[in-house]
Amino acid sequence: MARMDEFLHAMVEAGGSDLHLSVSLPPKVRISGEITALDSPPLTTEDMEQILSEVCPKDQWEHFLEAKDLDFAYEIEGLARFRVNYLCNYFGNAAVLRTIPAKVLSLEQLNLPEAIRKVCHYNEGLVFVTGPTGSGKSTTMAAMLDYINATMAKHIITIEDPVEFVHQNKKSVIVHREVGLHAKSFGRALESAMRADPDIILVGEMRELETIRLSLTCASMGMLVFGTLHTNNAPKTIDRVIDAFPAQEQAQIRTMLAGSLSGVISQLLCKKLGGGRVAAHEILLENEGLPNTIREGMISNIRSIIEGSQATGMCTMDATLRRLYESEMISAQEAYMKANDKKMFLDLAEGRTN
């Protein structure tokens, strides 16, 4: 067994999500949000080169030695797939591997809000699934695609770097494309997807201006586009998209976004009382007042739209955190740390009840 495999087996058996490898440190894993060292000696420079090269395809290893950075997927049959990032730091080569569960969890198993199922039935528009790194965005989107795949006859194209969850065709036809392997860039893959008669396009990460622009174009052409951003709530997501463009283009982009945005699902993982983690969501859905709010640049009014539309399934992050606290799923301190309006939770976090 490769030494990397030994570490990955130990991580999965311990219920970890991420494996961290760095020279001069023992292998470490993230369990329920906390970093813990495995029972293994610190890694030397020679250890690291052997461990990383042993599981990396030869052509990609040569690319890493030149570029000093590499993303790819690695699978241990019967255990799990892993999203791999090789990098260089001050001490030498390093790596972070994230577990991709072998089985796609369902909406019900993830206990996702019913409003997310509603989003799966949209026929067109742009839907963002957002949150910081490690918040479960990919897992949520995989559950959404799995639901669509099982209940609807759609043509779905996923564009990722690398491919994470691999879906088997059920009622839908799913085509997985990996940037670097099947297309030179997200932009080239999106341009190709436009001509491939898709109903749904999933964009693994909207990192570049061209990717955001083409995603907006696809949504305006009548496709349903799912994409991710590293933002914590709906207003920040809309601001991030608009601010990605030069100032002279922003008025046009607001108009395009106003006509295309169908939803924002923001997600945070909170430490659960008793161990483990639980997801908290902020959800913005289609609303008759939303297009004009975006078009006029009144992003601060998004919060009012969400608060006034709870009956349709919308919810703010702070309201969700409050509900999780009152259900005794998270602590007052955890709610305070994750909240947008921290004043709402300050008394609770300090132990005051009035």
CATH, range 114-315 = 3.40.50.300
Q: What are the sequence ranges of the domains in the chain?
A: 3-100, 114-315
The answer to whether 3-100 and 114-315 have equal CATH topology is no
- In the numeric block, which tokens belong to residue 270? 């909170």
Per-chain mean pLDDT for the chain: 94
Per-residue model confidence (pLDDT) at position 259: 95
- Dihedral of the CA atoms 149, 163, 223, 104 (nearest 10)? 30
Each residue's pLDDT tens digit, 307-352: 999 999 999 999 999 999 999 999 999 999 999 888 888 877 776 5
C-alpha 267/C-alpha 317 separation (Å) is 8
Architecture of domain 3-100: 2-Layer Sandwich (3.30)
Each residue's pLDDT tens digit, 100-109: 987 899 999 9
- The pTM for the full model equals 0.88
Each residue's pLDDT tens digit, 207-265: 889 999 999 999 999 999 999 999 999 999 999 999 999 999 999 999 999 999 999 99
Confidence of residue 354 (pLDDT cuts 50, 70, 90): very low
C-alpha 82/C-alpha 99 separation (Å) is 5
Write the DSSP string, 172-219: SEEEEEEBTTTBSSHHHHHHHHHTS--SEEEES---SHHHHHHHHHHH
Each residue's pLDDT tens digit, 49-103: 999 999 999 999 999 999 999 999 999 988 889 999 999 999 999 999 999 987 8
Q: How far apart are the first and last CA of the chain?
A: 59
